[in-house]
């Protein structure tokens, strides 16, 4: 018998520390259990650690599956296998302990493997696709499949999973042997960079709000329009980088979306460029939120 947690308060699980109640929340502990749940709840929204998802403060009336308990890790030679729920930071550290290079960019990533593969996450000149070997993918029409690197159709901050509503349940990475000291040095450099350029998660945020347009930087464009420090309810654009929104005073999802809409409008007016959100939205009960999300192409 499948057990869900009803009217689950999601706020404290999200990086934004924003969100209402989920009607039915599931936490599968194996791929087999995930398959059982998704067959019973075919329209369920699948999430990992809610690091780049804005959950509506008005709650969600449908089912949500959280893959955070799919957290097994194994190492075989230079191949590292990880469940969708493994946090990127943990995987980066384990790779380093094994003298394996290629995941240094994941250090201090708030997200989990499933989401990072889903969006082809990257930083510091490295991306998931650089070392990706294969993944176990759930396809609504065909069930559980194994995808190779070419099957994933990786591109900047995207993969076939986003286009086809596929779910990453496990991934393998083919890494390179290297000296632990060199790996650690690169991780330390990445941590120092993130400390200077990105807000700490002690100041709740979802990471970069908008994707970089081709040949340019969303942060540069936003900065040029003067949005740093702009406030919407309990959230604001971070003073040190214009592509981050921080929840500094118990903000709501509508506060975030209104601010995103203003940021988007400013760049479109000034540069005739339509920024694409990097974060995802989960909700639908609030009409104003839905309208903003349609405008921003988040739904």
Residues 88 and 128 in one domain: yes
Active-site residue, from 29, 35, 129, 157: 157
C-alpha Rg value of the chain to the nearest Å: 19
What is the token pair recorded at 43? 């329209």
Beta strands in the chain (DSSP E): 5-9, 21-26, 45-47, 53-55, 60-66, 73-76, 79-83, 100-101, 122-123, 126-127, 132-139, 143-148, 167-174, 176-177, 231-232, 235-237, 245-247, 280-282
* Residue 206 within any structural domain of the chain: no
Look up 280 and say whether it is catalytic. Answer: no
Residues 116 and 169 in one domain: yes
Compute the distance between CA of residue 77 and CA of residue 173 in angstroms, rounded to an integer.
11
Position 215 scores a pLDDT of: 93
Position 1 scores a pLDDT of: 59
Active-site residue, from 208, 232, 252, 253: 208
Residues 187 and 236 in one domain: no
* Residue 207 within any structural domain of the chain: no
Q: Which three-class secondary structure state does DSSP give residue 238?
A: coil
Residues 136, 68, 294, 60, Cα dihedral to 10°: 130
Look up 278 and say whether it is catalytic. Answer: yes
Position 43 scores a pLDDT of: 94
Last residue of a domain, one of 47, 66, 85: 66
Residues 99 and 162 in one domain: yes
Active-site residue, from 116, 170, 278, 289: 278
- Number of structural domains, the chain? 3
pTM, two decimal places: 0.93
Position 108 scores a pLDDT of: 80
Residues 35 and 138 in one domain: no
Look up 81 and say whether it is catalytic. Answer: no
The rounded average pLDDT for each run of 10 residues, N- to C-terminus, in the chain (299 residues) is 89 97 97 96 95 97 97 98 97 97 91 95 92 97 97 96 94 98 95 85 91 96 98 97 97 98 98 97 97 97
- Residue 32, domain extent: 5-66
Residues 62 and 80 in one domain: no
């Amino acid at each position: 018998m499948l057990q869900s947690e009803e009217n689950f308060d999601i706020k404290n699980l999200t990086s934004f520390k924003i969100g209402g109640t989920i009607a039915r929340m599931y936490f599968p502990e194996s791929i087999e259990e995930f398959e059982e749940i998704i067959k019973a709840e075919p329209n369920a929204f699948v999430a990992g650690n809610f690091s780049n998802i804005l959950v509506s403060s008005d709650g969600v009336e449908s089912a949500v599956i959280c893959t955070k308990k799919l957290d097994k890790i194994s190492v075989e030679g230079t191949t590292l296998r990880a469940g969708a729920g493994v946090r990127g930071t943990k995987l980066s550290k384990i790779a380093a302990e094994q003298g394996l290079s290629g995941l240094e960019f994941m250090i201090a990533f708030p997200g989990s493997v499933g989401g990072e593969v889903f969006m082809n996450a990257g930083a510091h000149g490295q991306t998931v696709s650089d070392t990706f070997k294969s993944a176990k993918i759930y396809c609504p029409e065909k069930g559980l499949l194994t995808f190779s690197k070419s099957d994933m159709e990786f591109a900047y901050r995207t993969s076939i999973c986003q286009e086809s509503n596929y779910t990453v349940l496990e991934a393998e990475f083919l890494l390179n042997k290297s000296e632990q000291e060199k790996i650690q040095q690169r991780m330390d450099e990445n941590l120092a960079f993130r400390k200077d350029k990105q807000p700490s998660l002690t100041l709740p945020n979802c990471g970069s709000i908008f994707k970089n347009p081709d040949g340019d930087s969303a942060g540069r464009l936003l900065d040029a329009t003067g949005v740093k420090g702009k406030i919407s309810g309990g959230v604001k654009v971070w003073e040190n980088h214009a592509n981050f929104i921080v929840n500094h005073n118990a903000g709501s999802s509508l506060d975030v979306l209104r601010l995103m809409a203003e940021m988007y409008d400013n760049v479109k007016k000034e540069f005739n460029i339509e920024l694409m959100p990097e974060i995802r939205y989960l909700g639908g009960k609030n009409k104003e939120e839905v309208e903003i999300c349609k405008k921003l192409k988040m739904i």
